[in-house]
Structure 1
Amino acid sequence: MFNLIRNEFHVHKVHLIVNLMLIFFLYFVARDNFPLLFIGLILTLLFTRNMYFYDIRNNSEVLMNSLPVSRKQIVTSKYVTVTLFALICFSFSMVLNMFFNMYGKLTLFEFVTTLTILAIFMAFFFPSYYLFGPVFIRYAMVLLVVLIFAVGPMVLNLGVKNNFWGLLHLFEQYSIQFAMSMLAVIAVLISLSWLLSYRIYEAKEL
């Protein structure tokens, strides 16, 4: 499985470098519109989509299934690759902020919220792709991108104006308990998603 993950990063190394350059550029340009980790989150969602577009275009699934690896390992490698890509983007954003400090201190609320959004995306994306295939990639992801860039900023601004409807205050009171609870929910959500993806892919005929 390690070789599968290494191969994903080798194939998409240019994409990773370009995304890090985008984060560097947008760090200075979009700082008034988005939270610190939001740019890395969006780029991770797009990376996930492009990763599967590459597999579809190059018929990579047939090649991977001809290798001495199980379908469980193939599915797991996709989850791990996206998670590592997100961590690289988030880490790069935080290192930038350590040097330039244009966003202020990263709050636990922002960190947990970003991880939760990523987990929800992964939990629905992977099983949906293995169930519906390229059709899901073409249409659902386009809709998602439109919602993120059209609806996302409006919801964010509305939340800021209304102090996130008291959620931020509640989080500040029980920050550690809330963070631990959300991490537990994320772990369960991703585990169930992985299991569903594996079951669907295992039963799938290529």
Structure 2
Amino acid sequence: MFHLIKRDVILQKKQLMIFLPFILFFIFMDVHPVLTFLVASVFIPFNTYAYDEKAETNILLNSLPYTRKEIIASRYLGAVVYMILSIGLTSAAFISFGKLFSMTDIAIGSGLFLLFAACTFPLFYILKPGYITTAVIIGFIILSAMGPPVVIYLAEQFSGITDFIMNLSIPIVYTGSTVLIMLIYLLSWGLSTAIYQRKVF
């Protein structure tokens, strides 16, 4: 399964050359660190899916000595590995250019990435090739543009829940959020596995 994760990096050597300038652009434009960490985390996993969609790689993968569970596991575990590496490189870039960011920015950015991945990864096994990347890009733009206003609106409408959360201690909020996000990610993993095992190539 490690070789499947490694394959994604090998196939994207050219795209990885764009990664650092792409992230530096966001940093120099003073884009909020949360969005910068989110974009950095999205870069490799979704480039991999876009490549596989064009090349119909699933036919090749199913001819290799890997089970379908292992193929899906490599996607979900690989996404976490790439997220950690991307956040590390982005943090180094922020520090190198004297730009401020916090651990909260990293936590929110990585949490949003895992939620976005959990919602979109199953689509690559549900939608027909040719439509998936477009749907994901549109979804990402909508999330980036509409996410904050929607959260603010819901916070105002459900003030009771907002007050309850605000009264919780920081460790409880972080722990609860982490558990909830990981649960959603694992449910998405299970859903993708179930769909992929029944899919015909």
Q: TM-score, normalised by structure 2?
A: 0.82
Q: Which runs of 5+ in 2 are unaligned?
A: none
Secondary structure (helix, strand or coil) at the match of 2:102 reads: coil
Q: CA RMSD in A?
A: 2.9
Note the C-alpha offset of 1:96: 2.3
Note the C-alpha offset of 1:74: 0.6
Q: Which residue of 2 aligns with 1:10?
A: 10
Q: Which residue of 1 aligns with 2:139?
A: 144
Instruction: State the 4+ residue runs in structure 1 displaced beyond 4 angstroms.
Output: 165-168, 170-173
1:69–1:120: structure 2 CA closer, same or farther, 3 Å change rule? same
Q: Which residue of 2 aligns with 1:199?
A: 194
| Aligned counterpart for 1:155 among listed residues 138, 141, 149 | 149
Equivalent position amino acid for 1:59 in 2: E
Asked if 1:73 is matched to 2:70, the reply is yes
1:172–1:48: structure 2 CA closer, same or farther, 3 Å change rule? farther
Q: TM-score, normalised by structure 1?
A: 0.80
Per-residue displacement from partner, 1:44-98 (whole Å, max 9, x unpaired)? Answer: 3354333222112222111111010111111111112222222222111212233
Does the 8 Å CA contact 1:20/1:89 hold for their aligned counterparts? no
Note the C-alpha offset of 1:182: 1.1
Q: Which residue of 1 aligns with 2:58?
A: 61
Q: Which residue of 1 aligns with 2:23?
A: 23
| Aligned counterpart for 1:84 among listed residues 52, 66, 81 | 81
Q: Which runs of 5+ in 1 are unaligned?
A: none
Note the C-alpha offset of 1:43: 4.0
Note the C-alpha offset of 1:102: 1.9
Q: Which residue of 1 aligns with 2:185?
A: 190
Note the C-alpha offset of 1:200: 0.5
Matched length: 195
1:96–1:146: structure 2 CA closer, same or farther, 3 Å change rule? closer
Note the C-alpha offset of 1:173: 5.9
Does the 8 Å CA contact 2:38/2:109 hold for their aligned counterparts? yes
Does the 8 Å CA contact 1:129/1:136 hold for their aligned counterparts? no
In 2: Cα distance, 1:145 partner to 1:9 partner: 22
State percent identity of aligned pairs.
23
Per-residue displacement from partner, 1:145-200 (whole Å, max 9, x unpaired)? Answer: 43245445x739x79xx9xx8969x6696111111111111221111111110010
1:131–1:112: structure 2 CA closer, same or farther, 3 Å change rule? same
In 1: Cα distance, 2:36 partner to 2:96 partner: 18
Q: Which residue of 2 aligns with 1:40?
A: 37
Does the 8 Å CA contact 1:49/1:137 hold for their aligned counterparts? no
